[in-house]
Structure 1
Amino acid sequence: MDASETLELRCADAWRAVTEDKIGDWRLRAAGGFTGRANSALAVGDPGMPVPQALDRVREFARDQGIPPVVHTIVDSAAERAVAAAGWVPDTGHAAGHLVSVLLGPLGDGPCDGAEVLSRPTSAWWELTAGTTEPGPARRHVLTTGEIGYGVAQITGGAVRAAMTGDLLHISRLAVRPGHRRRGLAKALMAACGPWAAARGATRCVLQVAVDNAPALALYEALGFGEHHRYRYWVPACEDRSL
C-alpha cells in the first residue's frame, strides 16, 4: 500500500464504527448514520473481487444496516477510478462536505492557557462534540472507542477529541462556542493535546477537514499543517438515499 492508503487505515483505526465487516481489504462500516466516515465503505487496497461485484456487496451491507450505500475513496486512486467507472457519482449532497483534505502536522507544544485533556468526557464536552449531552450508543461508541483524550478549554468554551493511532495523534470534533471564539481556544486545545499524545508515543498529528471549511484550513495551516492527500465520498447514481 502507498502512504495515502496507510494513512487512511490509521485514521479509520482512530474512528471505529459500531459494525464493521470486510470485502478483501475494503472496510465496511456502519454506526447508525453518525458521520460519513463511520457509515461508508473504505475502498483502500484490494477487495478480492471485481469492483462492480464489491460495490454490490457494499449495497447489501448498507441495506442490512439501514444506511445509504456510500464509498470512501482516495482522490485519483485506482479504486476511485474503478468506482466511477462502475457508475457511482460524487456524493455532493453530503452535509459535511464530500471532498475532504487529510492534513499532517506537528504536535502542539505551545502555551495552552485554560485548556486540558481529560480522561473522561463531560456533559459539556458531549454537547460540543456530539451535539447532545445524552449521546446514544452509536455516538458513544465512535467517540470513545480507543485511547482517547477529551480536550476542554475555559470551562468548556471549546472541546476536541484526541485519539491515538500508532505514533499518530488523530484530532477530530474540534468545536468552540460562538461566544468564546477569537480568543485562541482552538489553538489552546491543539497545544494541550500535543503533550498528552507525546506522552503516549505520538510524533505527528493527523486530521481531516472538508475542503470548503476555509476557517479550519486557515487555522491548521497557521499551526504548521500541510495537505497529505484528499478523499471523497461516492454514491450510486440512482439510489434511494432517504434511509
Structure 2
Amino acid sequence: MRRMSTDVSNLPLGSRVVVRWRLEAPDPATGATLTDAVGTLLSRDGETVTVETSRGPVTIPTSRITAAKEVPPKPSRRGASHLALSIEDLQRVMTPAWGAVERATLGDWALRASAGYTQRGNSVVPVGSPGKPLADAIADVEDWYAARGLPAKFALAGPQGFDPAGDPLGALLLDRGYTIGSLTLNMTAAREKIVAADPGGPSLTVSRDLTPQWLEVYRRTRTTVPGATETVLLDSPRVIFASIAPGGGLSQQLGLRTAGAAGITPIALARIGIGAGWAGLGAVWTDPAYRGRGLAAHLTAGLAALLREEGISLIHLQVEHDNDTATRLYRRLGFDVHSSYAYLTSPDTRTETR
C-alpha cells in the first residue's frame, strides 16, 4: 500500500481525508499515542488543519501529523464498494481524474475549459448547488464559456438510460435550445477483480511523465490541441501513463512479425488519473494491426495491479453507451455499469467555431 505522506498541502479542500496524528499524551484508556481523524478537510494553513469528523470539527497541529491521504467518499448504499457510491459522489470522484487547462467553481458546480480539447475538459459538472437560482446559474455558465470562445456544455448525470428532460436542470437547458449528445456509461470496478482477470501478455512501460513517444502515438488516436492536450493529460493529482511496444518477446508471444529494436513506437496506450481516492482509466487504445490479441485487457489489468502501490482499490472509466466492443471488454474484466451521463450543449452564437 502506498505510504501516506505527512504533507497535507496538496490535499484538496472539501475532500474526504484521513489524518493520523500524535496525541499530546497517551490515551489513558488504551495507551495509544496516535489517533486518526476521518472526514472532510475544511481548512489548512501553515500551522493547523481542520477536519470535519462525525463527532464535529477537529483542528490538528501540522507538527503532530504523521500521515495523511485523501480517501473515497462514504458509501451511500449497500452493496459492492464500487457500486455503493451515489451518482453525484461518483461525478465528484471522476472530476479530478481527467484534467483541464482552466478550472473554476460556481457554488458546488465545477467548470472546466481546455481550448476545446475533449468534452470532459470543456464542460460543467453540475453536482450540488450553484448557490443561486438555476436560470441565473446557467446564464453565468454561458457567459464564462463565451468569454473563452466555447459553447456552454453540461455533463448531466443520472441512472443508466435516464432522460435529461426529467431532470430540473436538464429541462431548463432543453428549453433554452440545448442539444443532447454523447450518451456515456460510467463503469466501476474493484481493483483486485480486474487484476485477477489479466489475460497475460508482454511487459508494460510505465511512467509518471508524459513521454514524447506516448504523446506521439496518442495524437494519432484523436484530434489534439497543442499545449492544451499536454496540460489536460497531466492535470490530475497523480497520473500514470502506460504503453506496450512491439519487440522480439511480443512478436513471439503473439505470433506477430519481428518489430525491430527496443524503444520503437508503442502499439497500445492507457492512462490512469488518480483523485478523490479513486483511479480513472482513460485513453485506452490499441493499434488496429494488433487488436484482438488481449493487449487492452492486459494493459488495464496491469495498471490495476500498479494501483496497489498507490493505495487505490476502486476504478472508474467512461465509455460511450453504444460502444459495444469496449463495454463487453470491460464487463469481462469485471467492470459494472454504475450510472450514465449526457452532454447538453448550448447553441450560443457568441462562441467561436473550433
Taking structure 1 as the reference length, the TM-score comes to 0.88
1:72 Cα deviation from its structure 2 partner: 1.1
Name the SS of the counterpart of 2:228 in structure 1: helix
Greater Cα shift, 223-232 or 166-175: 166-175
1:20 and 2:20 correspond: no
Amino acid at match of 2:293: R
**Which residue of the other structure, out of 145, 152, 171, is the alignment partner of 1:62?**
145
SS in 2 for 1:175: strand
Contact 1:114–1:188 under 8 Å retained in 2 = no
Percent identity at matched positions?
26
Distance of 1:84 and 1:192 partners within structure 2: 42
Amino acid at match of 1:100: T
Partner secondary structure for residue 128 of structure 2: coil
Counterpart in 2 of 1:239?
A: 348
Structure number with the higher helix fraction is 1
Aligned counterpart, 1:120:
209
Aligned to 2:268: 158
User: Do 2:96 and 2:276's aligned partners in 1 also have CA atoms closer than 8 Å?
Assistant: no
Q: Which residue in 2 is equivalent to 1:84?
A: 171
Q: CA 1:112–1:5 in structure 2 vs 1: closer, same or farther (change >3 Å)?
A: farther
Q: Confirm whether residue 220 of structure 1 aligns to residue 330 of structure 2.
A: yes
Match of 1:191 in 2: 301
- What residue number does 1:102 align with? 186
What secondary structure is seen at the aligned counterpart in 2 of 1:205?
A: strand
135 and 54 in structure 1: CA distance in 2 versus 1, 3 angstrom threshold: closer
- TM-score norm. by structure 2 comes to 0.62
Q: Output one character per residue of 1:119-149: Cα deviation in whole Å (capped at 9) or x when no partner.
A: 32333311333438x9622111110123111
Residue number in structure 2 paired with 1:171: 281
CA distance in 2, matches of 1:181, 1:18: 32
Corresponding residue pairs, total: 237
Which protein shows a greater Rg? 2
User: Counterpart of 1:28 in 2: which secondary structure?
Assistant: strand
Unaligned runs of 5+ in 2: 1-72, 77-85, 247-265
Aligned to 1:140: 230
- Of the structure 1 ranges 118-127 and 175-184, higher mean CA displacement relative to structure 2 is found in 118-127
> Partner residue of 2:4?
none
Describe the shift of the 1:135–1:234 C-alpha distance in structure 2 as closer, same or farther (beyond 3 A). Answer: closer
- 1:53-75: CA deviation from partner (whole Å, max 9, x where unpaired): 11101110111111111111113
Residue 41 of structure 1: which of 124, 133, 140 is its match? 124
**Is contact 1:90–1:232 with CA below 8 Å preserved after alignment?**
no
Judged with a 3 Å threshold, the aligned counterparts in structure 2 of structure 1 residues 61 and 80 are, in CA distance, closer, same or farther, namely: farther
Alignment root-mean-square deviation, CA: 2.4
For structure 1, which runs of at least 5 residues remain unmatched after alignment? 93-97
Q: Tell me which amino acid in the other structure corresponds to 2:242.
A: G
How many Å separate the matches in 1 of 2:180 and 2:166? Answer: 16
Note closer, same or farther for the CA distance 1:8–1:130 as it changes in structure 2 (3 Å cut). farther
Q: Do the aligned partners of 1:43 and 1:79 also contact (CA within 8 Å) in 2? A: no
Separation in structure 2 between the aligned mates of residue 48 and residue 20 of structure 1, nearest angstrom: 17
Output the amino acid matched with 2:189.
G
CA–CA distance in 2 between the matches of 1:135 and 1:41?
A: 20
